[in-house]
């Protein structure tokens, strides 16, 4: 099949396949199939393609070039996110946001770039036999992706009003606060990171590793849902799937013959695909974690205009280590649509008042080092994300909430809105313990959001507690590798994109060490 791409990234889309695939059947061959085009898939595709392997990248979501981004969050949820931004856990009280487009979640994340904390790597070596997971081994990978993605520390002009105000509060409390590092080139300071970067300043996979992979011959297909891996005697032979247009209409069946598959569809979709394919051990889908987060909003006496300037300016790491609390506070901007998602604006006159005061609001995002208590399962004809805030994690969530409220009040907030379904607020530090103490750990009591699903195909030396081995290869198979956030043995406590980039590069290198995987 020959398709002429006139502009933008060379992506074969459903509309191209409709015209070019006779009989609704598309058959392809490659050395490697990469399922997913986000942080893990794009890096793996580039690293393998540049070594001469014939690589095909399959993305379930659409190809939407930067010129088509609307900077409207409600519209972006519809076009760029998994399940149009409505993916939740089984209870329905945790919104789990993932990108579903060419470039994956890197297109819609906040650009935050943390290396894996050393104390997390210590856990991985101690508990999972991952002896290579040391700062010495991983530092060259971190440095490589940081250089490729122009990761640098926010300058003073990138600390927006919301971050300046709360930074002053942290200093008043004597808490450690630092500017973020972000993968941005000359940030345009529009604050629309969660809706895609229209100016291409965010160094997402859409404008970095995917074009580089394509330059080395990788073929990229969007609108392609992989339904199962094909295998024989523990050796993969390819994939089957469907090409589906943006209206949900199937355009063609697709089959790709390939002796190697890299799964990078994300911590929800990767285990589901393995389960549908009846591959892997009983650890596939288990140990799901996701950094359940609060967005703690507050009203200030002076205008903040939280939608202006860089989305994320600084963070508080005072409580990052487990012995200090095990959470991070990130100061984030937001628009009015996001405000309605994470706060209770009411209806009628209360809603009008909430919107009239929107310019006075600022917010803090909490991240905890949650335990891997969840499970992702394919049940008949649908996926289930069985995750409920555990008794182990509830205290850390409440500590992070108390710290966020205290920080807002120290920063001058007049009223702090609790992330509860019941409309609650705190106006004085003396009220914090009593107000937070009213919150029960039960479904639908809290408004929680996750941008960081991870851990459902845990990496480890022992198949008894892991799904893939120390090289990223699926236990019990020869040529199926995992290269996304589902690899992570534990939750990270910090934003995972840099860890995923580094591990995907690491996995690609381990693949290439095998002479059978070289071109």
Q: Which residues are catalytic?
A: 452
CB-neighbour burial class of residue 491 (10 A; exposed 0-12, middle 13-18, buried 19+): buried
The DSSP secondary-structure symbol of 179 reads E
Minimal CA–CA distance to 263: which of 500, 462, 9? 500
Minimal CA–CA distance to 493: which of 293, 323, 267, 291? 291
Phi then psi for residue 318, to 5 deg, are: -55, -30
Handedness of CA 484, 485, 490, 493 (dihedral sign): positive
Phi then psi for residue 375, to 5 deg, are: -145, 140
CA distance 426 to 260: 55
CB-CB neighbours of 384 under 10 Å: 16
Alpha helices in 361-496 (DSSP H): 394-410, 432-437
DSSP of 318-370: TT-SGGGTSEEEEEE---HHHHHHHS---SSHHHHHHHHTGGGEEEEEEEE--
DSSP of 266-290: -TTHHHHHHHHTT-S-TTTTEEEB-
């Amino acid at each position: 099949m020959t398709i002429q791409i006139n502009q933008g990234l060379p992506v074969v889309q459903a509309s191209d396949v409709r015209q070019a695939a006779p009989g609704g059947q598309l058959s392809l061959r490659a050395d490697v199939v990469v399922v997913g085009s986000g942080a893990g898939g794009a890096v793996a595709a580039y690293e393998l393609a540049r070594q001469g392997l014939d690589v095909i990248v399959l993305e379930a979501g659409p190809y939407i070039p930067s010129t088509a981004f609307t900077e409207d969050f409600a519209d972006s949820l519809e076009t760029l996110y998994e399940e149009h931004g409505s993916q939740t856990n089984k209870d329905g009280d945790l919104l789990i946001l993932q990108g579903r487009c060419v470039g994956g979640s890197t297109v819609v994340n906040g650009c935050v770039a943390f290396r894996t904390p050393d104390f997390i790597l210590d856990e991985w070596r101690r508990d999972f036999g991952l002896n290579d997971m040391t700062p010495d081994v991983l530092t060259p990978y971190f440095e490589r992706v940081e250089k490729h993605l122009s990761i640098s520390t926010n300058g003073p002009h990138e600390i927006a009003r919301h971050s300046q105000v709360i930074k002053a509060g942290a200093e008043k409390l004597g808490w450690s606060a630092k500017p973020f590092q972000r993968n941005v080139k000359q940030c345009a300071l529009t604050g629309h990171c969660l809706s895609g970067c229209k100016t291409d300043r965010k160094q997402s996979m859409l404008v970095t590793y995917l074009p580089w992979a394509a330059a080395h011959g990788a073929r990229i297909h969007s609108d392609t849902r992989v339904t199962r891996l094909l295998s024989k005697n523990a050796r993969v032979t390819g994939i089957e799937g469907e090409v589906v247009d943006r209206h949900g209409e199937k355009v063609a069946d697709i089959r790709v013959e390939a002796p190697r598959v890299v799964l990078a569809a994300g911590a929800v979709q990767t285990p589901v695909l393995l389960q549908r394919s009846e591959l892997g051990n009983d650890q596939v889908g288990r140990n799901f974690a996701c950094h359940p987060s609060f967005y703690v909003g507050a009203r200030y006496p002076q205008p903040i205009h939280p939608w202006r300037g860089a989305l994320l300016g600084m963070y508080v790491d005072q409580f990052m280590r487990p012995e200090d609390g095990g959470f991070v506070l990130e100061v984030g901007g937001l628009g009015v649509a996001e405000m309605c998602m994470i706060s209770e604006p009411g209806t009628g006159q209360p809603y009008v008042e909430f919107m009239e005061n929107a310019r006075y609001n600022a917010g803090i995002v909490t991240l905890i080092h949650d335990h891997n208590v969840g499970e992702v399962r394919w049940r008949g004809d649908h996926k289930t994300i069985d995750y409920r805030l555990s008794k182990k994690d509830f205290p850390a969530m409440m500590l992070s909430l108390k710290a966020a409220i205290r920080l807002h009040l120290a920063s001058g907030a007049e009223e702090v809105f609790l992330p509860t379904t019941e409309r609650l607020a705190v106006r004085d530090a003396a009220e914090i313990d009593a107000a937070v103490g009213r919150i029960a750990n039960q479904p639908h009591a809290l408004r929680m959001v996750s941008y960081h699903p991870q851990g459902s195909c845990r990496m480890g030396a022992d198949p008894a507690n892991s799904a893939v081995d120390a090289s990223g290869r699926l236990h019990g198979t020869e040529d199926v590798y995992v290269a996304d956030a589902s690899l992570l043995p534990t939750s990270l406590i910090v934003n995972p994109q840099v860890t995923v980039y580094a591990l995907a590069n690491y996995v690609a290198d381990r693949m290439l060490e095998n002479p059978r995987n070289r071109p």
